[in-house]
Structure 1
Amino acid sequence: MAETLVPQPASDGSAERLARIRAGLSARHSRERRFRFYGIAAIAAALGFVAILFTMILYKGLPAFTQATLEVEVFFDPEVISVDPMPVQQQGQSQAEFRRAMTDWQRQATMVNWNRIVEAAVRNAAPGTEADSRQLLSIVETNARFELRDRFVADPGILGSTARVKMLASANADNWLKGNINRDLPDAQQQLAAPARELADRLYENGHIRFAFASHIFTNVDSRSAPASAGLAGAFVGSLYMMLVVIVLAVPIGVMSAVYLEEFAPKNRLTDLIEVNINNLAAVPSIVFGLLGAAVFINYFRLPLSAPLVGGLVLTLMTLPTVIIATRSALRAVPPSLRQAALGLGASKTQTVFHHVLPVTYPGILTATIIGVAQALGETAPLLLIGMNAFVAQIPGTPLDQSSALPVQIYLWQGNENRNFFEARTSAAIIVLLGLMLTLNAIAIFLRSRLERRK
C-alpha cells in the first residue's frame, strides 16, 4: 500500500531568520530616522546660534546709526567774532604774501571764543536754564566750535547774521536721551550734572534735539576729543587698500602656484615636501604671520609702520595657502577626459591647461579667492602686531600712509572707557564689517553663476 505524502510546515529556523531580518530592517530604519533627526537638529541649532548672534548685533548696533542732534539758531555776534576783514589779493601782491595774509586771518578766526557763540545759541533755545557754561557745553560735542569756525571762514559774510545750524550732541547727552544710563542713579554716578541733564531733556521735549541718521559714521575718522563724531572712514579705506593688495598679489601668485604644482611639477619628494608645507601653512595661527610681517617687512625692509601695504602683505601670506589648496582641488575635479581630448587633438600641455582646463575651474578659483579675501578682511591679530592699532585721525591717501582697519577699529572701540556709548558703536562697526563681507560673498556667488552658465 503506497504511503500518502503530507506537506510539512516550514522549519523553525526559517521563521527565526525572517524575524531577525525584519528586526534588523526595523533597527536600521530607526537608526536612519535618528540620524536624520540629529542632522536636522544640528542644522537648526547652528542656524539658531547664527540668528541669535545677528539679532544681538543688530539690537545693539542699529541704535548707533541714529544720534542726538541739536538744531539751534546761531547768531554770529560781531562783538565776539572780532577779526579783521578777510584779505583780498591786491594787485602786485605775490601769491606767497597773499597766502601768508590768509593764514594770519584764519589764525585770528581760530582764536575767537567760539564756545561763547555755541553757549548763546543753546541758551536762546532754552531760556532760563540753570546750567552754567561748563554744564551747558557738556551736552554739545566739542567739535561744534570748529564747525562754526569753518563755516565762518568759508563765508565771512555771515558775520552779524543768524543761521540755523545742526550740531551733534555729546556722547554723554546721547547716552542720557537714549536711556543707556539709569536715570535713578545718584548724581555722583551720572556722566552729566543735574542741570545739564535737565537741559538735555528740555531741548529734546521742545524739538531742538532730535535723533537723526548718523551719516558721519561713514564719513568721519576716529576721534578721541570728540567721540560722538567718531567714524569709520579711515578704517574702511585702510581695509579697502589692504584687500586690494591681497587681491593683486595673492590671487595670481596662488593660482599660478597651484597650476604648476598640479599640472607641471614632477611628482617627487621635493613637491611632496612643498605640498605638506602649504597644508601646514594653512593651519598656522594668524598671529604668527603678524610676527613674521613685523620682523621682515618692518624691521628688515623698513616699510612704514601701520601702513595698509604692510597689512596687505601680511594678509597675502595668510591667504596664499587657502587659494593654492582650493585651486588645486578645483583642478583635480576636472575630468581627465578633457585633458586627453585636448592632447589628442594636438594641443600642447600648456595649451591644454590654459585653454581648456583652467577656464573650467574659474568658478572654484573665484570662490576660493573670495573666501580667502573675506577671511583676511576679518583678521585682527596680525594687524595689531604691525602697529595698525595706532590712533590715526586721517583718511589714508595711499597704501603707504598710516591707517587703521575695520577689525582693529572694532577692537579699539570695544576697549574704550565710555562703554555706554561705544558698545553700540562697536556693534555698528561689526554690522559694517559683516555687510562688506556679505557683499564680497554675494559678488562671488553672482560671478560664479555667470561663469557656470557660460560653460
Structure 2
Amino acid sequence: MSKTTEQVRQSLAKRYRAEKRFRAFGIASIAFGLLALLLLFTDIIGKGHTAFFEHYIQMEVTFDADTLGIDDATNQDQLNFANYDGVIRNALRERFPQVQSRGQKRELYSLISTGAGYPLRDMLASHPALLGQTRTLWLLADDDVDQYFKADRQGREDSRLTPEQKAWLTSLDDNGQVKKEFNASFFTSGDSREPELAGIWGAVCGSFFTMLVTLLLSFPIGVAAAIYLEEFAPRNRFTDFIEVNINNLAAVPSIIFGLLGLAIFIGLFGMPRSVPLVGGIVLTLMTLPTIIISSRAAIKAVPPSIREAAMGLGASPMQVVLHHVMPLAMPGMLTGAIIGMAQALGETAPLLMIGMVAFIVDVPAGPVDPATVLPVQIYLWADSPEQSFVALTSAAIMVLLAFLIAMNTLAVFLRKRLERRW
C-alpha cells in the first residue's frame, strides 16, 4: 500500500512540475510578445513623434509689386502667378547682406520651403492692401532645416546642410527668429514631393470613401448570405460546396483579390484606376467571407426556443428571422463586420494591383475621384529617399494604428453592450 501511495505521489509531483513548466512557458511567451510589441511601438513613436512639429523662420517680407509682378491685388489670376519666391529671397538677402556669390545665395534660398509662398498668396488675397507693405512673417523652413533643428545639432555628420547654412541658422536661432509649432498641415494637406508640405488628409479621405463603399456592399450582402445559408438553404451537396468555398476564401491571400479586381473591374468592365469605388469593391470581395462566417456564428448562437416560440405564435419563417433572430444576432454580426472592416483598412496589396499607388496631390471629394489610402501612403513614403519621410512614415503608421485600435475597441464595446445571455 505504501509503495502504491509513493508511486501516486511521484506521479502527481511529476504532473505538477509539468504543469508549472507549461505555465512558465506560457508566461514567457506572453512576456516575449508584449516585449516585441513594446519595442515596435517605441521604435514607431520614437521616429514618428517629430513629424507632428515643424520649424518656422521669421523674416521681414515686403510685398513689392514689381517683384511680385502684379499691379492689382484683387485679380485672382495675377495672385496665382505672382513671384512669391522673389519677395522671400529679397527678405533673405536683406537679413544676410554679406551673402554675395551665386552659390551662397542658392544655399541661402534653400533654407525656406518651396511652399512658403502659398500663405503669402492667401494673405494678399484676403488683404489686398498689403501690396507694397512690409510685414514680419513666420515662413516654413525646408525639410533639411527642420531635421537639423529636430535632431541634436552637435556633430551630425548626416546633415545635408553646409557649414555656412548652419552658421546662418545659428544666427537666426540666437536672435529668436526660429520657432517650433504643431504641424497642422500633416492632418489637413494631401501628399507632396516636399516632406514639409506632405500630409495624410488625402489618404484619410481616400480610406474613408473606400471603407464606405466596402461597408455599403459587404455588410448587407454578407448578412443576407449568412441568413440564407443558415435559415433557408437546403442541406445538400451544393450548399456544402458553397460553405467549403466560403471558408477557403477567408484564407486566400489578399493580393489574389487585387488580381481579380484588375482583371474583372478594370480590364473587363473598364472602370478607372486608383479610385475608391474600385478599391471598395475589391475589399468587399475580401471581407465578405469574414462577415458571412461571423454572421452565421451569431445566428447559430440564437437559441432554437426563440424560433419555436415565434412559429408557435403563428409567425412566418421570414418574420421569425427578421423580427426575432436578426435583432438577437445583430451584435455578433456588427462585431464581425467591424473586424472585417479593420482588416480591409490595413490592406495594401489588393489596392496596389488596381493602381491606388499613384501619386495623388488633390484631396478626393468623392468615391470616383483619384485617391490613395493610408496603407498605400505609408508604402509610398517609406520608399522615398528623403530623411524627413522616415518620420512622416512612422507618424502615418501611428494614425493608422489609432484607427485600427479604435475600430477593434468599438467591436468589443458593441459585443459587450448589445449581447444577450440566455
Aligned to 2:70, which of 83, 88, 113? 83
Kept in 1, the 8 Å contact 2:59–2:138? The answer is yes
Given candidates 22, 29, 49, the residue that maps to 1:62 is 49
Matched to 1:311, the amino acid is G
Take 1:174 and 1:340, find their aligned partners in 2: how far apart are those partners?
Answer: 69
The 5-angstrom pairing of residues 5-404 of structure 1 reads 14-86=1-73, 102=75, 106-107=77-78, 109-125=79-95, 128=98, 132-179=104-151, 183=155, 185=157, 190-224=159-193, 226-404=194-372
Read off the aligned partner of 1:424 and give its amino acid letter.
Answer: A
- d(CA) in 2 for partners of 1:139, 1:86: 27
Structure 1 runs, 4 residues or longer, greater than 6 Å off = none
Alignment of structure 1 residues 443-454 onto 2, 5 Å:
443-452=410-419
Distance 2:66 2:364 in 1: 40
Count, aligned residues:
420
Residues 246 and 289 in structure 2, CA contact (< 8 A), matched pair in contact too: yes
Specify the SS of the correspondent of 1:401: coil
TM-score after normalising by structure 2: 0.93
Deviates more, 1:402-411 or 1:39-48: 39-48
Between 1:197-206 and 1:165-174, the stretch displaced more is 197-206
CA distance in 1, matches of 2:131, 2:266: 51
Give the aligned partner of residue 99 of structure 1.
Answer: none
- Aligned residue number for residue 7 of structure 1: none
Most deviating of 31-40 and 408-417 = 31-40
Contact between 1:177 and 1:201, CA under 8 Å: does it hold in 2?
Answer: no
- The alpha carbon displacement at 1:181 in A equals 8.1
In structure 1, the residue corresponding to 2:138 is in which secondary structure?
strand
Shift of residue 127 of structure 1? 5.9
Deviates more, 1:190-199 or 1:289-298: 190-199
Q: Return the alpha-carbon distance in structure 2 between the equivalents of residues 120 and 233 of structure 1.
A: 33
Pick which of 385-394 and 71-80 moved more. Answer: 71-80
1:184, 1:227 → 2: CA distance?
20
Q: Pick closer, same or farther for the CA change 1:399–1:182 going to 2, 3 Å.
A: farther
The CA distance in 2 between the partners of 1:426 and 1:335, in whole Å, is 48
C-alpha separation in 2, matches of 1:294 and 1:316: 14
SS in 2 for 1:391: coil
Distance change >3 Å, CA 182–CA 273, structure 1 → 2: farther
Alpha-carbon displacement from aligned partner over 1:142-188 (angstroms, at most 9, x marks no partner): 01123323322332210122223222111111122222788453xxx
Q: Which has the larger radius of gyration?
A: 1
Q: Is 2:403 aligned against 1:436?
A: yes
Higher alpha-carbon deviation: 363-372 or 44-53 = 44-53
> Closer, same or farther in 2 for the Cα pair 1:180/1:353, shift >3 Å?
farther
Q: CA deviation at 1:336?
A: 2.4
Identity %: 47
Question: What is the alpha-carbon distance in structure 2 between the residues aligned to residue 417 and residue 181 of structure 1?
Answer: 21
In the TM superposition, residue 135 of structure 1 has moved relative to its aligned partner by 1.0
CA separation of 1:357 and 1:344: change in aligned 2, threshold 3 A:
same
User: In the superposition, relative to structure 1, how do residues 452 and 145 fare at CA in structure 2: closer, same or farther (>3 Å)?
Assistant: same
The verdict on how the C-alpha distance between 1:249 and 1:112 changes in structure 2, with shifts beyond 3 A counting, is closer
Higher alpha-carbon deviation: 167-176 or 232-241: 167-176
The Cα RMSD (Å) is 2.2
Distance 1:115 1:359, change over 3 A: same
Contact 2:274–2:355, Cα closer than 8 Å, also in 1: yes
Q: TM-score, normalised by structure 1?
A: 0.87
What amino acid is the match of 2:269? Answer: F
Contact 1:138 1:192 in 2 (8 A): no
**Structure 2 residue ranges without an equivalent (≥5):** none
Taking structure 1 as reference, are residues 174 and 86 closer, same or farther at Cα in structure 2, changes over 3 Å only? closer
SS in 2 for 1:80: helix
Deviation at 1:448, TM superposition (A): 2.9
Cα distance between partner residues in 2 of 1:181 and 1:313: 49
CA distance in 1 between counterparts of 2:410 and 2:173 reads: 43
- Structure 2 CA distance for aligned equivalents of residues 280 and 123 of structure 1: 68
Q: Does the 8 A contact of 2:55 with 2:178 survive in 1?
A: yes
